[in-house]
Chains A and B, each alone.
Chain A
C-alpha cells in the first residue's frame, strides 16, 4: 500500500547497492529528482534499466552509480551523444559498464512480459541484424501453431521501478497522462516502486473513465517532488527545457567540467 514519505526516505528504503533499478520516462516525466537523490545517497553497482537513457542516466553513469545498463537507445535526443555514457563504454570511466542492449520493440515487450508475470516477451524482431550476435539474451523460439521463428527476450523484473507522475490523491493512487511510455508496465513488473509526483490532491476530479491510474496497492512509496521531472517535462505543469538539453553537451563533454557541474547542481 502506497506510503507517503520524503524522497530521501523513499530512496533509502527502496534502492540498495546492487539492485536492478528501472527509472522510466519516455522523454516525458523523467524522474530526475529521484535519480539525483540516488546519486546523492551514493548507491553503487546498480543495474540500470531504461529504454532511452538520456541526460539523467548520463549523470548517474558519470557519477559511478551504475555497474550495468540494459537499454535500447542511449543519446541526447536531437542533440547527439551522451558523453559520460560514451566515456564509460569506450574508456571504462569512472568504471566499466556492462551493457545488455536491445531494440525499443524488444524492451517494450520485455516490460509487458514482466507486468504480465510471463518469463519472456515475444516479438517479430531482430531479423537479419547484428544485436543477437552480441547479446545472448536475445533468443529464438518457434510458434507452436504456425512454426514461425520469433525473437524472445527475458521479462524485465526490476527490484524497483521509479517513475514521476502528475498527481497522487490522498489515498495514494497515482494519475499520469500525456506520453506515458512504459511507466505502467515498469511499475507493475517491479517488486517495489517509488513514484514522485508534482502534487497531492484531495480527489482527481472529472476524468476519462480510461485515465491512466496506478492504484495505491501497486505502489510502494510516494514522494512529492514539484518540478521533479525537470529538465524533462510534466504535461500540464511545465515544458521540456530544450535549451538545457542542448547545453548538456558542453557540461558533460569533459570529466572535470562534468564533475564540477554535478557538484554545483546536484550534490
Chain B
C-alpha cells in the first residue's frame, strides 16, 4: 500500500508515543495520531481530552474535543477547572500533542491572529488549552503540515511558548518541563538542536528531498549531520488508520 503525505504524518506522529504515556490530545491530526498509537503499538496509552475525559478509548475520531464518544468510553470525566488545575498544572501529563496554524524556528506556536492583534487580517480561534499544555506537559509533540505560510519566522503572535528565543529560555522563565521535543510534518520530522533549540530536520519521509523541505519553510532550515529516512507506514499502520477514518466518516454522517 502506498500512503499519502497526510497519512505518513499521522503514522510518524503515532510512533512518537509510547505505551506508558499519559497524553493530552489536541483535536485534528494529533487526535488521529494518538488513537492510531492506541490501536497499534500503545494499547495502554492514556488519552486525555481537555473537555475532562480521562482515559478515553473512542472507536471513531471525535470531531470536537468534547464529543459524546469520548465521555462514553472514558475511565472518568472531570470538570474543566479540575482538568486544567489538578491534571495539567498538577503535572500528571507526560505528553501534550498540539497542532497549530503557525510555528517558528524555536517551535513557538501562533493560533491567535495574523497581522496586528487589534486589527487582524485573519482572526484565528485563539489559544484554548495550548499555552498551558505547552508549559506543563513533561514534553510536547507538534504535528502540522509544512508550508511557507505555516512555518514562519518571526511569528505575528506568540500564543504558546515553545523554546522562546532558544537556548535555555524555558529554564529562565522557570519552566521545568522539556517543551517541544519533536515536530512531525507531512514531509519530515524536526527536533530542537540540543544547545540552540532551533528546529533541525532529523528525518525525511520516503521520497522527500532536502530541497522540497527547505522550499516549504519560511526560514533557512537546518539539517542534522546525518538525516535519516522515516520508515514508511507498515501495512498494519495504514490499514488501522484507514479503518479508523472510515468508521469516523460513517459516524459523523449520521445525525443525532
Q: Which positions in A face B, CB cutoff 8 Å?
A: 26-28, 51-52, 71-75, 77-79, 81-82, 85-86, 89-90, 101, 103-105, 108-109, 111-112, 123-131, 134, 148-149, 178-182, 184-185, 230-231, 233, 235, 238-246
Q: Are A131 and B127 in contact (CB under 8 A)?
A: yes
**CA–CA, A26 and B77, complex, Å:** 12
Which of the candidate stretches B13-21, B79-87, B209-217 sits at the interface with the other chain? Answer: B79-87
Nearest CB in chain A to that of B172: its residue: A128
Q: Which residues of A contact B175 (CB under 8 A)?
A: 127-128
Q: Which residues of B contact A134 (CB under 8 A)?
A: 117-118
Binary flags per residue of B199-242, CB closer than 8 Å to A gives 1, else 0:
00000000000000000000000000000000000000000000
Q: Are B85 and A128 in contact (CB under 8 A)?
A: no
Q: Is B158 an interface residue (CB 8 A)?
A: yes
Q: Which residues of A contact B117 (CB under 8 A)?
A: 130, 134
**CA–CA, A73 and B83, complex, Å:** 16
Binary flags per residue of B154-192, CB closer than 8 Å to A gives 1, else 0:
000111110010000110011100000000000000000
Q: Is B6 an interface residue (CB 8 A)?
A: no
Q: Are A78 and B27 in contact (CB under 8 A)?
A: yes
Measured CB to CB, the closest approach of chain A to B220, in angstroms, equals 24
User: Which 4 A-B pairs rank lowest in CB-CB distance, beginning with the nearest?
Assistant: A27-B66, A75-B125, A239-B256, A73-B128
Q: Is B44 an interface residue (CB 8 A)?
A: no
Q: Which of A127, A130, A244 has the most CB of B within 10 A?
A: A130
Q: Are B67 and A27 in contact (CB under 8 A)?
A: yes
Q: Are A108 and B84 in contact (CB under 8 A)?
A: yes
Measured CB to CB, the closest approach of chain A to B156, in angstroms, equals 9
Q: Is B28 an interface residue (CB 8 A)?
A: yes
Q: Which residues from 101 to 146 on chain B have a C-beta closer than 8 Å to any C-beta of chain A?
A: 112, 117-118, 120-132, 135-136
Q: Is the interface of A mostly helix, strand, loop or mixed?
A: loop
The A-B contact count (CB < 8 A) is 187
Measured CB to CB, the closest approach of chain B to A73, in angstroms, equals 3
Q: Which residues of B contact A27 (CB under 8 A)?
A: 51, 64-67
Q: Are A241 and B255 in contact (CB under 8 A)?
A: yes
Q: Are A90 and B123 in contact (CB under 8 A)?
A: yes
Q: Are B131 and A125 in contact (CB under 8 A)?
A: yes
Q: Which residues of A contact B25 (CB under 8 A)?
A: none
Measured CB to CB, the closest approach of chain B to A226, in angstroms, equals 13
* With A26-B80, A230-B256 as contacts: A125 and B132 at CB distance below 8 Å: yes
Q: Are A128 and B64 in contact (CB under 8 A)?
A: no
Q: Which residues of A contact B45 (CB under 8 A)?
A: none
Measured CB to CB, the closest approach of chain A to B69, in angstroms, equals 9
Q: Are B256 and A180 in contact (CB under 8 A)?
A: no
11 residue pairs A–B, Cβ–Cβ below 8 Å: A51-B80, A71-B126, A103-B130, A104-B127, A104-B128, A105-B132, A109-B81, A109-B85, A128-B169, A129-B127, A245-B63
Q: Are A130 and B112 in contact (CB under 8 A)?
A: yes
Q: Is B73 an interface residue (CB 8 A)?
A: no
**CA–CA, A231 and B67, complex, Å:** 12
- 13 more contacts with CB within 8 A, not counting A72-B128, A112-B81, are A27-B67, A71-B126, A78-B27, A101-B112, A101-B127, A108-B81, A108-B84, A109-B84, A125-B131, A130-B158, A131-B159, A239-B256, A242-B255
